[in-house]
Chain A
Amino acid sequence: MKALVPVKRVIDYNVKPRVKADGSGVDLSNVKMSMNPFDEIAVEEAIRLKEAGKVEEIIAVSVGPAKAQETLRTALAMGADSAILVETDEEVEPLAVAKILKAVAAEVEPGLVILGKQAIDDDSNQTGQMLAALMDLPQGTFASKVEVDGDSVSVTREVDGGLETVKLSLPAIVTTDLRLNEPRYASLPNIMKAKKKPLETKTPADYGVDITPRLKTTNVSEPPVRQAGVKVADVDELVAKLKAMGVA
């Protein structure tokens, strides 16, 4: 079966984001961008499934600006077989991404769509679930373990109380959590090979998807600066302070 792996280009997790002076969003000029870490885990999982003989072909897809090609090349260098860029400079909300992915999936016909549970830029945590609903497919979200067996997949999920395992019939949608695996880095020969792998460029219009935003961001602001704590000499003073603050 084929695995479709959607990846998003986001601000690098090591970069401290800075909010634009007008509060319209995060300043992305001259900032290092990388593949969303959860998507990297998804790519890694797809590669492991391929190495285990459960998946034959991995197609990476990204919705975003031309520069997202770099992100797709990273996926190809890790081990994806081909890539599709749905190019747009507009801001694309999870629902629009899910609609585009549905259209891509209709062409690719994957047995498994595996993607990050959320992107670290907007933390929406919606795309996978919306895609499952739009495609009317079973979903296994926040996966910490994925086991494909015949025409089903067992997904161990990280839930509040512990771990929950669900068995889904394929095709299915899986979203990855942090502990699913540790993604590999691309070796130089694979980086070289990735340059020759097919990367197709499309537009949202090619798939007939209207990406007009349905939400309006009114303001983005920095989190409040953390205030210095209070030092106490002993437990008695601590308890007294907590009482005074009304928390004990």
Chain B
Amino acid sequence: MTMMDTGLDYPELRDSIARLCADFPGSYWRELEDRSGYPTEFVAALTEAGFLGMLVPEEYGGSGLPLRAAAVVLEEINANGCVASQSHAQMYIMGTLLRHGSDAQKAKYLPGIAAGELRLQAFGITEPTTGSDTTSLKTHAERRGDTYVVNGQKVWTSRAEHSDLMLLLARTTPLSEVKKRTEGLSVFLIDIREAQGRGLDIRPIDAMINHNATEVFFDNLEIPADSLVGEEGQGFRYILSGMNAERILVATEAVGDGRWCLKRAVEYANERVVFGKSIGSNQGVQFPLARAHVELESADLLCRKAAALFEAGEDCGSEANIAKLVASEAAFHAADIAMQTHGGFSFAREYEIERKWRETRLYQIAPISTNMVLAYVGQHVLGLGRSY
């Protein structure tokens, strides 16, 4: 039996994050969005307070806390109106390095990552023609003596302009030469600072939300052979092991966004008086808000269950997926009903509702789309036929 806390867990972390976030009001995030800026000051505050290194083991200078603690931190960041997505990757991308990197790589990079001096928050997987069918990716790395030469293109690589290191998934053995599609892919740790201008080119994408997304181009980029993480050809397996953690964290983060939206909507519904009474006392306004709360509570429980299984070292593939799906919809429903409740005022940017509405829409698409979750559940949980 896996133990799961059903109350307001990690209250001390929640308190500290709430205090930290109070220094970064909506106007800060709005102004950043105006110039597609990166929340450098906010990330610095999180780093200084030790939160971004919380999953790094203590022997490497982190706090070695459970995944759920990190999830709570991300939830609270969003629940307090700030934006977790621009810094969350610094917490978990290092997991691949931690689980599969060599001792030398871990000793070289993890202390810097734990301290926040070294930013590892970019992960190149998705390509213009390769999304959920990851094994079809075209970017390849060819071994030449003491180096690998990388060619190809990645897209939707978030924060690459604000990261020192980048994990890259590239094909090292052509698809035609492997027995299984999942073989022949490898993970590399690239030092962006050294690679830029020497075959690595990063271009920002002007997008609906300010997640600092980029396109990354590799043109005969030479990287040292010891950039390889783990064994050559085993990269896909390494990536999969990190995905459950990512889904659990992002799902909990979505719950935080939903909580913020609902809180704002409830406040407004109580304050706004039309026809002589608060609009929230009308069932037409009240019930969708109540339903949003019900959905968020369900999502919260699923997130906790997935995190508890993850911590216990048990298989949590379906739970992480299910939590992500439910949380992504709960968050967007909350944002949508916050918009409806605020009426015309939701379109005024200073209310922050329209920004959260745009931001919460993403969860149904990334880091895994709803259909891929349903395909997983259909095939692996229910035993139905494979559709792809």
- Chain A: residues with CB nearer than 8 A to chain B? 32, 34, 70, 73-74, 77, 183, 185-189, 191-192, 194
Q: Beta-carbon contacts of B124-140 to A below 8 Å, as 1s and 0s?
A: 00000000000000000
> Is A187 within 8 A of B11, CB to CB?
no
From B8, B15, B48, A187 is in contact (CB under 8 Å) with B48
B306 in contact (CB, < 8 A): no
Binds A, one of B49-57, B189-197, B350-358: B49-57
- Number of cross-chain contacts by CB at 8 Å: 38
- Chain B: residues with CB nearer than 8 A to chain A? 8, 11-13, 15-16, 19-20, 48-51, 54, 63, 65
> Is B12 within 8 A of A187, CB to CB?
no
> Is A188 within 8 A of B20, CB to CB?
no
> Is B11 within 8 A of A188, CB to CB?
no
Interface centre among A183, A186, A188, A191 (most CB of B within 10 A): A188
Q: Which residues of B sit under 8 angstroms from A74, Cβ to Cβ?
A: 12, 15
CA distance A227 to B15 in the complex (A): 35
> Is A188 within 8 A of B15, CB to CB?
no
> Is A188 within 8 A of B51, CB to CB?
yes
For this complex, 18 residue pairs linking A to B, each with C-beta atoms less than 8 Å apart, are A32-B8, A34-B15, A70-B12, A73-B12, A74-B15, A77-B16, A185-B15, A185-B16, A186-B15, A186-B49, A187-B48, A187-B49, A187-B50, A188-B49, A188-B54, A191-B13, A191-B16, A194-B12
Q: Which residues of A sit under 8 angstroms from B65, Cβ to Cβ?
A: 188
CA distance A70 to B54 in the complex (A): 21
CA distance A183 to B18 in the complex (A): 13
> Is B48 within 8 A of A186, CB to CB?
no
Known contacts A70-B12, A186-B49, then 17 further A-B pairs from the complex at CB < 8 Å, ordered by chain A residue: A32-B8, A74-B12, A74-B15, A77-B12, A183-B19, A185-B15, A185-B19, A186-B12, A186-B15, A187-B16, A187-B48, A188-B49, A188-B50, A188-B51, A188-B54, A188-B63, A189-B50
A190 to chain B, nearest CB (A): 8
> Is B12 within 8 A of A191, CB to CB?
yes
> Is B50 within 8 A of A70, CB to CB?
no
CA distance A187 to B52 in the complex (A): 11
> Is A192 within 8 A of B16, CB to CB?
no
Q: Which residues of A sit under 8 angstroms from B11, Cβ to Cβ?
A: 70
CA distance A194 to B19 in the complex (A): 18
Q: Which residues of B sit under 8 angstroms from A34, Cβ to Cβ?
A: 15
The residue of chain B having its C-beta at the shortest distance from the C-beta of A185 within the complex is B19
CA distance A189 to B65 in the complex (A): 11
CA distance A77 to B50 in the complex (A): 13
The residue of chain A having its C-beta at the shortest distance from the C-beta of B7 within the complex is A30
